Amino acid sequence: MSAETVHTIIDDLGALLLFTMILILAASQIYRAIYAVATQSFLIAIAGGVLATATGNVDLWVIAGVTLAVKAFVLPWVLHRVVQRMNVRREVEPVIPVAATLALAVVVIVMSFHLSASLGSVRQAIAGNALPVGIALTLLGVLVMATQKKALTQMVGLFASENGIFFTAMAVTQGMPLIIEIGVILDVILAALVMAIMVLRVRSTVDADIADLDRLRG
Amino acid sequence: MAETLLWVLPLVPTVTALAMLTTRDRRILSAIDVGGSAVLVALTLVLAREVAAGGPRALGVFRVDDLGLVFLLLLVVLTLAVSIYTVGWLRQAVAVGNMKAESLRSYFALVHAFVATMVVTVLADNLGVLWIAMEGTTITSAVLVGYHGHQHGLEAAWKYIIVTTIGISFGLFGTVLIYAAAADVQGAAGAMSWSAIMQVAPRLDPGIVRIGFIFVMVGYGTKAGLAPMHLWLPDAHSQAPTPVSALLSGVLIKCALLGIIRFQTIAAAACGPAFPAEVLLVFGLTSVVVATPFILAQRDVKRLLGYHSVEHVGIVVLGLGFGGSVGTYGALLHVVNHGVTKALAFFAAGTAIARYGTRDMRAIRGMLAVAPIAATLLMLAALSLAGVPPFSIFVSELMVLRAGIGHGHWVAIAIFLAMVVVIFAGLLHHVGAMVFGEPTAAAGREPEAWSPLLAMMLLATIMVLLGLTLPASFDKLLRRATEIVVG
Amino acid sequence: MMAGERSFGLMLLEMTLLVLIGPLVTGIIQKIKARLQCRQGAGVLQPYRDLTKLFRKGTVQADTASGLYRSIPVLVLAATVAAGALVPVVRAGPPAFPLGDALLLLGLLALARFLTAVGALDAGGAFGGMGASREMTVAPLVEPVLMMVVFSTAVAAGTTELGALAAHRGTSWILAWRAADFLGFAAMLVLLPAETGRIPVDNPDTHLELTMLHEGMLLEHSGPGLGCMVLASHTRQIVTLGLVSALFFPVGLADGAGATGLLLGAGAFAAKILALATYLALVESSYAKLRLFRVPQYLGIAFVCALTALALRIL
């Protein structure tokens, strides 16, 4: 594959990633957000495969495979199970109107592209639009966490955020060292498990969403 | 020898943690706890001697230099103090039912796993490993914060894990960007190692390093408790078991500061020292200013100390921002001083809480009559935290101030001084009311347990010692560490 | 690869074709929906039968309606059909006789929408007024998105004329898509149900629900007037679908004027319209109608996508 083709494909995948992110932001039901983030991880895995083919870097295949298994299947499945176990109202409750969130999203996206357009020659170290898309996904993930009151939506936002970082990390020339990427994924799994346990524990003791608790103030 | 120690050190708390799982007996667990910590201290002292004699050592992804050593020493000393304190604290906590006797081993195992991850953050040369270990500290300590298992604890733990995890994903992004910049200059091999990056730092693309540094600052700044990302800190500090609070405040946020310092040196080399200094100043001032009203209006003694940590982290970052040898030296000294003093304050406050059965400062009165030694130590810690001479914090605050004046940051200095004075009054008012006066009827009057007192005495000695006279070897260590940062 | 110009005669032919097969597309969508719901459903030619029936009937008009009211259906149909003239159906390439571009097309559709709302208000019925006000709530969200999607493709082509735009994009397949095209197309997919008055934004099958938008505005029309309005909405639907395929899938459009090329172009057009019609039917069958105040949130997705597509093109 020529460098040109790789850049085009990464750009295209970046656009699709942004689309899934917008779907997460506007999702009115928790299940849709979970499916959207699973799709997003799937796209990241594809990006890993494309970059692996292009650079001949075997590590990237491993990373793509692990991403596919863990973030596209296992973690969404865990989230799915937790939603079922909690048996909660599945409508997402935003803190601010979704329209406002979407407006903020536009600002974030435009800002990310503007920011990375201001960079010099070093942009070539990262394939295609992976840098601005990565920044946008990371920030939008935070936006999801900040504007949703449900614990599970916050977790979805976290995964989306992490997806953004992975996308950029993969697209850095030759990818990150394998051991680091594996360590990062391991951390993400552990954090997700601890969070899931906390959510279920609070649900079983006080019948409330853990993110809704607000006794600690001042 | 020293190289071997680099991988043995993180292994010690790991093995200790695993050893915990073999027994349920409280006495044996406490013994393993203190023993493990003591071994850690001993090995660290050996390593410190080696490094003082032979300079920085590296092994794979680990590397120890004088800068890391400052933080490592603080870490192991506080770990030992916490272990000693835990012996008596735990007996009381089990007696009143705050801790369940059957789940003690998991508590101890988690504490040592937490320590192990922190040791790795301090020794990591590879910035990726630094990040992984940092996230590891979040996971282990989040479980500890929610360890009591009641609603408030879990709320604090949730807030803690969510805020810091998202925070340090920013840190990871910043790390990736710096890695991209380094890989662009020297190829992918070694582009994640801090020492390798420092070799080529002046040639890195300043644009991408700038963005990367801001991401890292927000990321590790969240972990360090800098305002406005400090939201998790008072909750986590107030809800965690007291020994864990001491570790969080004394060591964990300092480890995050070390991460910031590592990236600051890269950014200073790549885009000139002015840029990171500016960012640091903004965050430092914000933290000092934001913490002040919360300290004044606080009723929960552990939250008070938590907000106080926000202020002091702000002061450290201000010192780094003012820069120069004086500012950096002052900041590093402040890291140690604050770590020791804050752990002491948490210990004393934990004793008070155990006596009165509440964290509400309005209900804690006349501690001097109930537990005279702990009360005196609490007062001393408060005086030191408020910045009264001759305690150690006074010295380091003065150095930070001098660096600010030297570089002509008059506005920052004015705000800083005003806040310090207000906090001084606020803190002494709170603690004075707790220590003096008529004790409330609810207060327990049993004699003071030896182990918490021993731990507090140990820390108080270090605190006074650092204030009165800085040992020559420690001064040399700090000077060399300062050189690494300033270049 | 620059295609030859499209002759005026061909454009008229294409326009007539669009108007003629418009009802068929509606019929096909209804049929697919019926099958998805395990019903037999009416034949695909049912819309034609409905239209002939309507055109044979007499007109009843509200007493309160003004003189303008009678001319509204004709004007609406005229505006929509004129918009149809601007869509390339079987051939790419700039027109020999420049009638207008995508912006005029959107303007004509907006004009038709405006006239429909005016007519509904003029009749003075409660449902009509409600439908009109709702339609006017949704329209400001739909039209800017359409504009932005058109712009995001036009920026790359350097023209807003649809034939030339299609020719510039060439007849290659998805690999020629840039990142912005994915987002633009996503925006269009979200938008299509709104623009064609379908679930989840509107419900074309009912005159009774309080949630209806477009159908509410037609309540007071009758006979040939209603026939014109219904034909106009069939045409509007196929024009919108044609716009999407011209913007994003110009593949198969003939380059020259040869008969085989034209036939091939017609076949490709039919396939593309069929695919989009199937998409609409699937969406209608698998989603529920949104509450009205949820509609801005839904359209917000399209808005953000379109704006991002535009930003991608420009930045």
Across the interface, of B126, B158, B297, the residue whose CB is closest to A210 is B158
Restricting to B residues 323-352, those with a Cβ less than 8 Å away from any Cβ of A are none
Q: CA-CA distance, B276 to B267, in Å (whole number)?
A: 6
Lowest mean pLDDT among A174-178, B299-303, B459-463: A174-178
Average confidence (pLDDT) over B402-411: 91
Average confidence (pLDDT) over C234-263: 83
Q: CA-CA distance, C183 to C188, in Å (whole number)?
A: 9
Q: How many CB atoms lie within 10 A of CB B436?
A: 14
What pLDDT score was predicted for residue C172? 56
How far is the alpha carbon of C300 from chain A, nearest alpha carbon, in Å? 6
More confident residue, B467 or B149: B467
Q: CA-CA distance, B250 to B458, in Å (whole number)?
A: 15
Q: How many CB atoms lie within 10 A of CB B11?
A: 12
Model confidence at C113, pLDDT cuts 50, 70, 90, reads very high
What pLDDT score was predicted for residue C1? 37
Model confidence at C2, pLDDT cuts 50, 70, 90, reads very low
- Neighbouring residues of B408: CB distance < 8 A, sequence distance ≥ 6: none
Q: CA-CA distance, B130 to B470, in Å (whole number)?
A: 30
A205 to chain B: closest CA residue:
B151
Interface test with A, best of C149, C190, C291, C312 (most A CBs within 10 A): C312
| Average confidence score pLDDT of chain C | 86
Chains that touch A (3 or more CB pairs under 8 A): B, C
- Neighbouring residues of B425: CB distance < 8 A, sequence distance ≥ 6: none
* C300/A99 CB distance under 8 A: yes
Q: Is A105 on the interface with C (CB under 8 A)?
A: yes
What pLDDT score was predicted for residue C112? 94
More confident residue, A57 or B128: B128
Across the interface, of A14, A22, A97, the residue whose CB is closest to C304 is A22
Q: CA-CA distance, C248 to A187, in Å (whole number)?
A: 42
- Does position B396 have pLDDT exceeding 60, yes or no? yes
Model confidence at B443, pLDDT cuts 50, 70, 90, reads confident
Average confidence (pLDDT) over B75-81: 96
pLDDT, tens digit (0-9, with 9 covering 90-100), for B267-296 = 999 999 999 999 999 999 999 999 999 998
pLDDT, tens digit (0-9, with 9 covering 90-100), for A156-165 = 999 999 999 9
pLDDT, tens digit (0-9, with 9 covering 90-100), for C128-170 = 888 888 888 888 889 999 999 999 888 888 888 888 888 877 6
What pLDDT score was predicted for residue C46? 93
What pLDDT score was predicted for residue B229? 92
Q: Is B180 on the interface with A (CB under 8 A)?
A: yes
- Neighbouring residues of C256: CB distance < 8 A, sequence distance ≥ 6: C3, C4
Restricting to A residues 128-167, those with a Cβ less than 8 Å away from any Cβ of C are 129
Q: Report the complex ipTM.
A: 0.92
pTM score: 0.89
Across the interface, of A16, A106, A113, the residue whose CB is closest to C182 is A16
Q: In the A/B pair of chains, how many CB contacts fall below 8 A?
A: 147
* B128/A169 CB distance under 8 A: no
Tell me if there are at least 3 CB pairs under 8 Å linking chains A and C: yes
How far is the alpha carbon of A206 from chain C, nearest alpha carbon, in Å? 32
* A126/B180 CB distance under 8 A: yes
What pLDDT score was predicted for residue C161? 85
What pLDDT score was predicted for residue C208? 62
Q: Is A5 on the interface with B (CB under 8 A)?
A: no
Model confidence at C100, pLDDT cuts 50, 70, 90, reads confident
**Cis peptide before B390, with omega less than 30 degrees from 0?**
yes
Lowest mean pLDDT among A202-211, C20-29, C31-40: A202-211
Average confidence (pLDDT) over C199-221: 77
- Does position C176 have pLDDT exceeding 80, yes or no? no
Q: Is A172 on the interface with B (CB under 8 A)?
A: yes
Restricting to B residues 89-118, those with a Cβ less than 8 Å away from any Cβ of A are none
pLDDT, tens digit (0-9, with 9 covering 90-100), for B306-346 = 999 999 999 999 999 998 899 999 999 999 999 999 999 99
What pLDDT score was predicted for residue A83? 84
Q: Is B135 on the interface with A (CB under 8 A)?
A: yes
How far is the alpha carbon of B468 from chain A, nearest alpha carbon, in Å? 36
- Does position C210 have pLDDT exceeding 70, yes or no? no
Q: Is A67 on the interface with B (CB under 8 A)?
A: no
pLDDT, tens digit (0-9, with 9 covering 90-100), for A109-120 = 999 988 888 876
Positions of chain A with pLDDT under 70: 1, 87-92, 120-123, 173-174, 206-207, 217-218
How far is the alpha carbon of A12 from chain C, nearest alpha carbon, in Å? 4
What pLDDT score was predicted for residue C94? 78
Provide, as residue numbers in chain B, all residues whose Cβ is less than 8 Å from the Cβ of A141: 166, 169
Provide, as residue numbers in chain C, all residues whose Cβ is less than 8 Å from the Cβ of A105: 304
Q: CA-CA distance, B468 to B461, in Å (whole number)?
A: 11
What pLDDT score was predicted for residue A174? 67
What pLDDT score was predicted for residue A5? 84
CA distances from C279 to A29, A103, B121, C189, C233 (A): 22, 28, 53, 9, 18
Helix (H, G, I), strand (E, B) or coil at B315: helix
Chains that touch C (3 or more CB pairs under 8 A): A
| Average confidence score pLDDT of chain B | 92
How far is the alpha carbon of B227 from chain A, nearest alpha carbon, in Å? 14
Q: And the tokens for A76? A: 């969404």
- Does position B391 have pLDDT exceeding 70, yes or no? yes
pLDDT, tens digit (0-9, with 9 covering 90-100), for B184-243 = 888 777 788 999 999 999 999 898 899 999 999 999 999 999 989 999 999 999 999 999
Provide, as residue numbers in chain B, all residues whose Cβ is less than 8 Å from the Cβ of A186: 132
Across the interface, of A25, A97, A110, the residue whose CB is closest to C311 is A110
C174 to chain A: closest CA residue:
A12
Q: CA-CA distance, C113 to B276, in Å (whole number)?
A: 57
Lowest mean pLDDT among A187-201, B97-111, B246-260, C91-105: C91-105
Torsion of CA C307, C313, C314, C315, to 10 degrees: 100
Q: Is B155 on the interface with A (CB under 8 A)?
A: yes
- Does position C175 have pLDDT exceeding 70, yes or no? no
What pLDDT score was predicted for residue C180? 86
What pLDDT score was predicted for residue A42? 96
* B205/A119 CB distance under 8 A: yes
B235 to chain A: closest CA residue:
A216
What pLDDT score was predicted for residue C167? 80
Average confidence (pLDDT) over C74-89: 92
State phi, psi for B64 to the nearest 5 degrees.
-120, 130
* B158/A180 CB distance under 8 A: no
* A134/B152 CB distance under 8 A: no
How far is the alpha carbon of B307 from chain A, nearest alpha carbon, in Å? 10
Across the interface, of C177, C300, C311, the residue whose CB is closest to A98 is C300
Q: And the tokens for C211? A: 């949630």
What pLDDT score was predicted for residue C31? 94
